[in-house]
Amino acid sequence: MTCTASRSGGTVPAVKVTGLELKASVQTVRLGSAAYRVVRPADPLTGWLVDRQICWNSFDGALDAHSFRALTIAWAFAARSPRTITYLPIASDGTESTALCLELVLVHHWLQLPASRWKSLRSRLGPGHVETIVLPPSAYDGREDADSWYHRENRDRFSHSVAAGTLVLAGSRPTFERDLAQLVELVEDGPAELATLPDRHVCVELAAELIHVELVGRRQAMLGPAGE
């Protein structure tokens, strides 16, 4: 399956990531002697993420345009926040699916968070206090050394685990930043392309192609994964 996010002269107004805001809940959670700062969007992302275990994309998902903007801000924020757990709840009606839909956690290797702790951490989350995340333009610059994913000597790689219905994705600033260019391109150009060519498959492949996420309309995002 080919993913595209090419520029298009559609009728949907252009969106620029610079200046976008994300309302987020911020909370410090204690678990034993450790304290963890958890940041999550005030509203869940609309869409779904499932474990497919096919081809090279182990995880497959879809989000609407608004949720893709939230994902992009959160991804850039996570890259710059080694001491923070970035938690992305993902919600859909799921009326047309029996698949187990996952949530997403972005965390740095530096924090050394065992995925087995996530269930206990999440159970301790309260409303927290709401802050507005606005990142500088430089936060979305990303990196162009994507080929280094596959170099044996490269230590900046993602690792992942699934625990308590959540994909826990651990990386470093370079690994998160490598995906920013395609996220920014989809946010800025994808909705116009989809409006012009409704049958076009517009998506991103994140974390060295571990995660495939398609841009879909809000109604489709709410339905959950089809054919499960």
End-to-end CA distance of the chain: 19
Find all residues with CB under 8 Å of 34, minimum gap 6, and list them.
none
For the segment 78-118, what is each residue's pLDDT rounded down to a tens digit? 999 999 999 999 998 765 555 688 999 999 999 999 999 99
Q: Find which of 2-11, 55-64, 138-147 is predicted with most confidence, using mean pLDDT.
A: 55-64
Mean pLDDT computed over every residue of the chain: 87
8 pLDDT higher than 60: no
Interstrand relation of 159-163 and 203-206 (parallel, antiparallel or unpaired): unpaired
**Across residues 211-220, what is the average pLDDT?**
94
Q: What is the pLDDT of residue 1?
A: 36
Lowest mean pLDDT among 59-63, 99-103, 162-166: 99-103
12: pLDDT strictly greater than 80 = no
pTM score = 0.89
Greatest Cα-to-Cα distance within the chain, rounded to the nearest angstrom: 54
Which 3 state secondary structure label does DSSP give 195?
helix
